[in-house]
Amino acid sequence: MPAVSALLVPYASYLRVYEPLAAFPEPERSHWARYAARERTPTAQDELRRSLADLLPTPPVPVPVHESADAFVTEVDGIVCVCPWRTRLRGWLALESLVDTLPEPLLDAVLPPVVRGQAAADFEQWRERNPDARPWIRTAVWQVPVRWFTLFADDEREYRAQETDGTAPALRYRTPMVQARRRLARALKALRESVDEGPLIEGLIDVGRWLEEFHPRSLVELDYGGLVHALTGPQLADDRSAADVAAGIAALRAGDGEAAGEAYERLAERWRAVRDRQFAN
């Protein structure tokens, strides 16, 4: 196994959409049908290892030369659904975000200007040919954005503790697309009636527009990904972030600002502790 497989998982969370095969035009539909029928399909860890491998050369390869033909596969009520990786598109989007996140001297050291310039030029040309393209996966580092939790209910939470054989813990939520859209709309309505326009409302609008791009019988998944390694076992077991968000929204709807504030503070304190670790030695 290559050395890159021993690297630690990045502290990132993921919001994924799995679409039924019927949502894809031919010949892509047939490709995914054959792909899903394979005896084994790649895992999130496999995807991570491949992306890390691209960063090992000098200079690094921030965006793959070719788009990935892989996907995550699941079954919903007997219907096969796939979540294409679209690694190349996500690489371009991540690079754009990185420019706004890191100081320029650090960014230059990690990704030389000539590498970023070529990637940006390639993306611009690709966008002209694919104006409607969108990713099936969104990524956040060192946090799970509050707006993502509005899509899920506490009883959709799936938690697996660290196992004695070394299997890593896992925490995720899954919900039907119709439920995700309905909850987001309710949250947006409650916020607009209670608070001024701001980042949370803007974020909900952005997620809502993204969800509208997909088939109504899709599955929406929130995966804590590598963040499980930034939290202790007890912290993961006690994490009820989706419930806190739902409680805050319900309190706003009922006009109880104090209860809404308490729910938000629980959430903010939990994720503030995680984000602070980003800058720890």
Alpha-carbon distances of 117 from 53, 62, 271, rounded to whole Å = 21, 11, 34
Backbone angles phi, psi at 173, to 5 degrees: -125, 145
Give long-range contacts, CB 8 A cutoff, 24+ apart: 122-129. Answer: 122/63, 122/92, 123/63, 123/92, 123/95, 123/96, 126/92
Backbone angles phi, psi at 101, to 5 degrees: -105, -45
The better pLDDT of the pair 197, 55 is held by 197
Q: Which of 138, 140, 142, 94 is nearest to 116 (CA)?
A: 94
Q: Can you tell me which residue has the tokens 């938000």?
A: 264
Judged against a pLDDT cut of 70, whether residue 258 lies above it is answered with yes
Judged against a pLDDT cut of 60, whether residue 248 lies above it is answered with yes
**What percent of the chain is predicted at pLDDT more than 70?**
91
Over residues 89-133, the pLDDT tens digits come to 988 888 887 777 777 887 787 788 888 888 888 888 888 898 888
Q: Can you tell me which residue has the tokens 């690709």?
A: 126
Identify the pLDDT of residue 174: 98
Over residues 127-164, the pLDDT tens digits come to 889 888 899 999 998 899 999 999 999 999 999 998 87
Identify the pLDDT of residue 219: 98
Burial of 266 (0-12, 13-18, 19+ CB in 10 A): middle
Identify the pLDDT of residue 122: 87
12 CB-side CA count, 13 A: 14
Q: Which of 5, 79, 80, 77 is nearest to 38 (CA)?
A: 80
Identify the pLDDT of residue 224: 96
Q: Say which residues have a Cβ less than 8 Å from residue 281's Cβ, sequence separation at least 6.
A: none
Judged against a pLDDT cut of 70, whether residue 5 lies above it is answered with no
SS3 at position 17: strand
Cβ contact 241:144 at 8 Å: yes
Mean pLDDT of the chain: 87
Q: pTM score, two decimals?
A: 0.87
Identify the pLDDT of residue 1: 32
Judged against a pLDDT cut of 50, whether residue 30 lies above it is answered with yes
Average pLDDT over residues 63-68: 83
Q: Which of 117, 129, 123 is nearest to 91 (CA)?
A: 123
Identify the pLDDT of residue 52: 65
Judged against a pLDDT cut of 70, whether residue 59 lies above it is answered with no
Average pLDDT over residues 229-244: 92
